[in-house]
Amino acid sequence: MVHPAVVLTVVLAWLAVLAVLAAAVSFGQTARTAPQPRRPRPRPARVGLFVSLSGPWLVVLSAAATGALTGAWLAAAALGGCGIALVAVVGVTLHPY
């Protein structure tokens, strides 16, 4: 039997991951709604746009799968939150405007 304090900690950690996900998704939407240039976007900008829009979702899914496979839900939530932040930074670096 798992102690209720551990369950509460894990639930709060995953709620924090979802909050970081919501922030990263709304941040990534700004990359998509930026004014379109007349010329096509260069390849790094297209990759950055993809990472900004899809990356946070992929990180959350992989963190949840890792938690389900290993049973280490708290560690998976911590890595998921860090991964989302990293993906958001990489996306904005590749597509800064």
pLDDT tens sequence across 79-93: 999 999 999 888 888
- Burial pattern 8-35, b for ≥16 Cβ within 10 A else e, equals eebeebbeebeebbeebbeebeebeeee
Cα(85)–Cα(83) distance, rounded to whole angstroms? 5
Cα(11)–Cα(17) distance, rounded to whole angstroms? 10
Distance of CA 75 to the CA centre of its chain: 16
Cα(74)–Cα(42) distance, rounded to whole angstroms? 39
- pLDDT given for residue 27 in this prediction: 81
Mean pLDDT, residues 17-25 taken together: 93
Mean pLDDT, residues 50-62 taken together: 89
